[in-house]
Amino acid sequence: MASTIQRHGLIAPGQKVLVAVSGGCDSMVLLELLHRLAERYEWKLAVAHFNHQLRGAESDADEVFVRHQAQLRNLPFFSSRGDVRSWARQHGLSLEMAARELRLRFLADTGRQWAAAAVALAHHADDQVELFFLRLLRGTGGEGLEGMRWKSPAPVPAPETEASGPGPLWIRPLLDLSRASLRRYAELRALPFREDTTNRSPRILRNRIRHELLPLLEAHYQPALRPAILRLMELVGAEAAAVRIWAEQWLRTGQPAFDQLPEAVQRAALRLQLRRLGQAPTWDLVEQLRLYPQRRINAGPARWYIRDPAGRVRPEAGPPGPFRSAELTLALTARGQAIFDHVQVRWQIRPHTAPPRLLGKPGLEYFDADRVGSLIRLRHWRPGDRFQPLGMPEPAKLQDLFTARRVPPAERRQRLLAETARGEIFWVEGLPPGESFKLTPTTRRRLRWQWSRAG
């Protein structure tokens, strides 16, 4: 293992390494090997464990076990836990993807806070083969079949407030070792470890690949399947890396023209740009951007992108949604409040004595209560609406008023307005109050109108 670390430049002498330990055989072997080498190379190790809370008492026992193993080796111990099921529901993820996302966030944050040079992961050769089939079955290109690298940047970006550099590298010192060889080492050293019962659940695709597909292929088609797949991943990975370097160079220079690039380089350049924009570069998204310049392409809820003829990708405002037909009728009592489509309104009607001049401010306006009337409706903008803001000589189309004030098209149909029982608009969210409803010397009662939008 020491020669592997040196050959691939994974850890330099004297560096700090955060070791991700689940408690299973693979991660315990990783911890043991690094700990045995630490004194020789003056490494400073710490142990990190994330409790996914998916197996109840078993998950808690794993955390206790890993903490104890860190204490036996006099190593700092960092742990955290997360509600994976809740995170999966909120973000539309599978349990496996949600667990991975929360675990990576924890490791990345802990590594930065502890100022580690590297986060060591226990991925091994069998993980590479399983990943190959996972990505193959889900659909991927050469970059996906490249597999995991010996070292790579953190897969989780640093917070915007982070000013301490790029953070630790992610290293995989066991990547050329098989699961069976790690198990033999654990037995030889009498190394304790925990068994994760979910690793045999047939509901998880990776488990079906491990326990069903790979044994079938090895028994009936190719006994040397695993080394063959690893060679293929290395070859495809080298070619994908070359294409990626070419794409990075094109992004810096813009030469030659995008249309003159090979298709593989075009796709790589688009993938790089999408990742920098925080967008997962799916095949359909990349291909539509590649084939249809200047066309707005949807990448999910409220996510749109466009590629210009020069090959540059930028976010784009989506088309406006449908006009909203919902409305809410309110009786204006002396005091009251209501919530409509995430907007809270409060009102108060009082005698208007006039001496102090009442000025509106963001989220607050004053109206002549008798001109408004006792019954109003809250609703959204509709085609044909006209409104006369304070100071304008006559009503104008609400669409023209939004355009003049540069209200984004996607936002216009979300703006709230209030109209009288006669259908006259006296208030539009974000615009001055209605001219016909302003306070005057003849006003007897004034309406104090206050609103706020949630979030």
Interval 330-384: pLDDT, tens: 999 999 999 888 888 999 999 988 655 555 577 899 999 999 999 999 999 888 8
Is residue 81 classed as helix, strand or coil in its secondary structure?
A: strand
Who's near 285: CB < 8 A, 6+ residues apart?
274, 279, 297, 299, 305
* Residue 246 confidence (pLDDT): 95
Q: Which of 447, 437, 450, 435 is nearest to 352 (CA)?
A: 447
Tally of domains in the chain? 3
| pLDDT reported for residue 374 | 92
Of 169, 201, 233, the domain-final residue = 201
The verdict on residue 101 lying in a domain is yes
Regions of the chain with pLDDT less than 50: 160-164
Domain limit, last residue, from 201, 233, 265: 201
219 domain residue, yes or no: no
What local confidence, expressed as pLDDT, does residue 161 receive? 44
The pTM of the full predicted model, rounded to 2 decimals, is 0.62
Residues 334 and 371 in one domain: yes
Domain assignment of residue 22, yes or no: yes
* 243 within domain boundaries: yes
Question: Are 135 and 266 contained in the same domain?
Answer: no
**Residue 166: what pLDDT?**
64
CATH number for the domain that contains residue 303: 1.20.59
Residue 163: per-residue pLDDT: 44
DSSP string of 358-413, one letter each residue: P--BTTEEEEEHHHH-SEEEEEE--TT-EE-BTT-SS-EEHHHHHHHTT--HHHHT
Q: Given this model, what pLDDT does residue 200 score? A: 81
Contact 256, 233 (CB under 8 A): no
User: Does 277 share its domain with 412?
Assistant: no
What is the domain extent for residue 419?
Answer: 327-453
Task: Say what the pLDDT of residue 270 is.
Answer: 95
Q: Residue for token digits 């293992």? A: 1
Last residue of a domain, one of 166, 201, 236: 201
